[in-house]
Amino acid sequence: MRLWLRGLGLTVVCVAAVVASFSTLASLAEFTGWGPMASWLLPASLDALGMTACLVWLDASAPKKARKWAAWMTWVAAGLSIVGNGVGHLASTGHLQQDLWLVLLVGAVPPAALATTVHLIVLVSTPAKPVKVRDAAPVPAPKPESSSRVVPGPAKKAAAKPSRTAPVKSGADETGPVDDVLMQKARHVAEDYETKHGKPPSRDALKAELGCGTTKATAIAAALKKEREVA
């Protein structure tokens, strides 16, 4: 099937579902005592909650805790919309009476949606706490070798050969706290690793994927473990 045909079909389904659901939920609000000018607030609050939660759920850069809450709230909003549409049709066809429980439940939807959306935004906006890493012990420099062997002619000391040390790899500083950018990259690496292997990555796996040293990889592994325990 051509791409434009699939896009057209998706657009038609979305428009039809939104219009039908919006009108049904608005009629349900009027059935429970809302005025004609305010009845549209019921479907608007539900749709806004579901759309915001879905966007956070699909955002790979959002914190893991926020994405879990957003995924749960996406399905809750969808379920409430489905139930609300069913109840709205029952009310419009005369199969349902205007009972007290129905009036209370419909009236509680907008403030509950507002509180849930604010909580979700706070979870997304809260930055991850940096993890402090202990300063690594300095490595003593090797002593230059010297030679005092006497050679024929004027006594001369052999020139000391400069010692060659292993080159230091460029990358994240092994001392100091783990910055948010490195922790965010580590979370993506951990999620991919868990998806492939079914378990959290080890320190050596993080070290290889992030290109950092042993000290930094140890601190990152501890921070990821703490986040999993909290979640």
Q: Is the predicted pLDDT of residue 59 greater than 50, yes or no?
A: yes
CB 99 within 8 A of CB 87: no
Give the range of the structural domain holding residue 187, as residue numbers without chain letter. 180-230
Q: Is residue 104 part of a domain?
A: yes
Specify if 169 maps to a domain. Answer: no
Q: Does residue 93 fall inside a structural domain? A: yes
Of 13-17, 22-26, 141-145, minimum mean pLDDT range = 141-145
User: Are 17 and 116 contained in the same domain?
Assistant: yes
- In terms of domains, do 10 and 121 share one? yes
- C-alpha span between 220 and 180 (Å, rounded): 11
How would you class 109 by CB atoms within 10 Å of its CB: exposed for 0-12, middle for 13-18, buried for 19 or more? buried
Identify the bridge partners of residue 158 per DSSP, sorted by sequence position.
147
Total tally of structural domains belonging to the chain: 2
Confidence of residue 147 (pLDDT cuts 50, 70, 90): very low
Residue 186 domain-assigned?
A: yes
The whole-angstrom separation of Cα 63 and Cα 221 is 17
Q: Which of 125, 150, 172 is the last residue of a domain?
A: 125
Q: Are residues 113 and 198 in the same domain?
A: no
Average pLDDT on 27-39 reads 86
Same domain, residue pair 119 and 185: no
Lowest mean pLDDT among 124-133, 140-149, 185-194: 140-149
CA atoms 133, 68, 17, 21: torsion sign: negative
pLDDT band per the 50, 70, 90 thresholds, residue 67: very high
116 and 190: one domain? no
**11 within domain boundaries:** yes
User: Mean pLDDT lowest for which of 31-35, 126-130, 188-192?
Assistant: 126-130
Q: Which one, of 50, 195, 29, lies nearest residue 117 by Cα? A: 50
Q: Where are the alpha helices (DSSP H) in the chain?
A: 3-31, 41-58, 64-92, 100-125, 180-197, 203-210, 214-230
Clarify whether residues 85 and 197 are in a common domain.
no
